[in-house]
Amino acid sequence: MTNSVSNSATDAKDSSPPLSRFLARFLKQKAAPSGSYYGEPGAGDSRLIAIVTVACIIGLWTFVTEAGLIKPLFLPSPLDVIARIGDLFQDGFSGATLTQHMAASFGRIFGSFFLACITGIPLGIAIGCSRVVRGIFDPIIEFYRPLPPLAYLPLVIIWMGIDESSKIMLIYLAMLSPIVISTRAGVGAVRIEQIQVAYSMGANSWQVVSQIITRGALPDILTGMRIAIGFGWTTLVAAEMVAAERGIGFMVLNASEFLVTDVVIAGILIIGVIAFGFDMLMRYLETKFVPWKGKN
C-alpha cells in the first residue's frame, strides 16, 4: 500500500512532457559566473562565439561553391572573389580601378559627412536651445526624416542636375537628420544643475551654450555621427545609381547588369569592411572623447 502511494507521487512529479523538462533546464537561471551579477541579462563574453560563427559561414560558403553545389553565377567561391579583388586593384572594372572607385565614393561620403557635421551639430544645438529655431526647423526635419532617400532622389536630380552635387546632396540629407536629432537629444540630456551652477559662477548664455551644453551633448553628438555614417553608406548606392562613372556603388550596380557576380560580392564586402572599420573608429573616439559616458 505505502509502496503504491509513493510510486504515484513520483509519477506525478515526472508526468510533465520530456520536451518541457528539456526546455526548463535551459531556462533555469544558472549561478552567475564571477565578474558578473546574478540576473544580469546576456552576461559573459560573446567574441569567441562571433568568430566561430563567421568562420562557419565562410567555411560553408567555400564548401558549397568549391564542391560545385551552386553555380558561380549565383554565388562565386570566396577564393574567386578574393582573386577578383586583386584584379580590381590592378585592371579595374568598368573604366576605373578599385582604388579610383573607392576614392570617388570616399569623397562623396566624407564630403557629405563633413557638411552634415558642420551644419547639423550647430543646428541641433540651436533647436535644443531656442524655442524659435525649434519651431522653424522641427516640422521640416520631422517631415523629411522618415522619407527614404530614393523617394526624393528624382527631385534632387531635377533641382541639382546629374553631376557630383546631387550625389553629395542626397547623402548629406540622409546624414543630416540623425546628426540634428541626436545633437538635440544630447542638449536635452544636459543636467539642469550643471547649467544653473555655471550661471551661478558668472557664465553668460554664450558660455553656457559653448562650454556646458555643447560639451555635455558630446556623447549624443558622437552617436549621431556614427549613425549618420551608417546612413551614408546605405544611401551611397542610391546616389551612384544615376549618371555615375566611378564609385563602389556604381561598380556593384554595373557588375550586376552584366551578371559579374564576383564583382558584386567583392563590392559588398568592401563596403561592409570599410563601414565596420569606420564604426570601430567612431567607438574608439567615443571612449577617447567621452570616457565619462554612462558613468555619471
Positions in the binding site for another protein (CB under 8 A): 191, 193-194, 196-203, 207, 211-212, 215-216, 218, 290-292, 295-296
Q: How far is the CB of 252 from another protein (least distance, A)?
A: 42
* Cβ 223 to another protein shortest distance, Å: 16
Of 26 and 292, CB closest to another protein:
292
Measured from the CB atom, the residue of 145 and 215 that comes closer to another protein is 215
Provide the b/e sequence for 62-77 (b: ≥16 CB within 10 Å).
eeebeeeeeeeeebbb
Question: Which ranges of 91-163 does DSSP label H, i.e. alpha helix?
Answer: 98-129, 131-144, 149-160
Q: How far is the CB of 123 from another protein (least distance, A)?
A: 22
- Complex with another protein: residue 94 or 194, whichever CB lies closer: 194
3-state secondary structure 42-64: CCCCCHHHHHHHHHHHHHHHHHH
* Amino acid letter, 274: I
Q: Which residues contact 233 (CB under 8 A, 6 or more apart)?
A: 109, 271, 274, 275
Smallest separation (angstroms) from another protein to the CB of 129: 17
CA distance 71 to 246: 29
User: Judged by CB, which is closer to another protein: 67, or 201?
Assistant: 201
Dihedral angle over CA of 128, 129, 135, 139, nearest 10: -20
Residue 119 or 194 with smaller CB distance to another protein: 194
Shortest gap between Cβ of 198 and another protein (angstroms)?
A: 7
